[in-house]
A and B are shown apart, each in its own frame.
Chain A
Amino acid sequence: MSTVWTAIAAAAVVSFVIKAAGPALVGDRDLPPWSMGIIGMLAPALLAGLVVVDVFGPGWSSLDATVIAGLAATAAATLLRAPMLVAVLAGIAATALLRLAFG
């Protein structure tokens, strides 16, 4: 349990500092252009990693066709310009319906 509390406290501090850094530091200076290129690519690289790690799980132990089908529904809804809430709910509903049908 103390692992969780330590992680929460540290994440809160880190999160605050990250959000504060840009506005506090920017002044009239800027980061060098090459670093901005990398920082800009952090989000897509890590978001893809998070989706994959969550879906695959350690040693690919979490793979579940109903989750993947749900994510396909979320992707389809997003590509059809559905708002985030609708897209996420579409994914949850697709997973739930498939589990109801085949579970």
Chain B
Amino acid sequence: MSLGTATFVLALTFGALARAEGWGILAPVVSSLIVFSGSAQFALLTALGGGGGVVPAVAAAALINARFLPMGLAIAPSLRGRRARRALEGQAVVDASWAAAHVGEGRFDRELLIGATLPQWPLWIAGTWLGAVFSPPQHVVHDLGLDTAFPAFFLVLLLHEAAATKRARVAAVLGGCIAAGLVTVLPPGIALIAATAAALVGLRRFRQRPREARS
């Protein structure tokens, strides 16, 4: 049940930091209820907090969640029913559950996926509410090091991605450099979108297929 605990702590942090960003109590709770995606909500908060507009913020959230496209494709054969039912079951895809449900060689355990995600939803909402209501003043958030939670959460996801292939590490370094360079002059939302250009290294894979044996 470490999934649920991690979810709850991250939700507390999200609620507290969203309140500190001036989101009030209702907005963070509603976002946890209807967005239900830590990375997308953190991306929204990061992009809006940097003074970006709605479009760059939503684009950043969409791009950070674009990984759910291939993840959804991968898990689709393991879901049940017609397309509409599968689309609903696909909502259970969150990073940790998806990874936990992977039983190897591209096969997924549907019951494990849904069983891991369902308890996380109320925990995510409750944690957000508690964090927003408790609303520690900003210097407390700072003293407790809670501002490290966002990048640390992304960093763990990044390290898992980077561990997969050398190409993922190249994309990560390139994306990081693009973002670091552009954020000096552009709003964070734009720098984030530009960082995704690093994903074009994925094209090389198919031109150089014969050399791919090692990864």
Contact = CB atoms under 8 A, between A and B. Distances in A.
Interface in B87-140: 87-91, 93, 96
Given A12-B35, A52-B183, A74-B152, A46 B192 contact: yes
A7 B198 CA distance: 25
A48 B41 CA distance: 16
Interface residues of B, number: 110
Given A36-B70, A85-B6, A49 B178 contact: yes
Interface of A: 1, 3-12, 14-16, 18-27, 30-31, 33-34, 36-60, 66-67, 70-71, 74-75, 78-79, 83-85, 87-89, 91-97, 99-100, 103
Given A10-B58, A22-B68, A58-B187, 20 more contacts: A7-B44, A7-B58, A8-B35, A18-B66, A21-B72, A21-B87, A23-B89, A25-B83, A26-B72, A26-B73, A39-B202, A43-B161, A45-B171, A49-B194, A51-B155, A71-B151, A79-B159, A84-B156, A85-B6, A88-B6
B16 interface: no
Contact of B62 (A14, A52, A100): A14
A97 B144 CA distance: 8
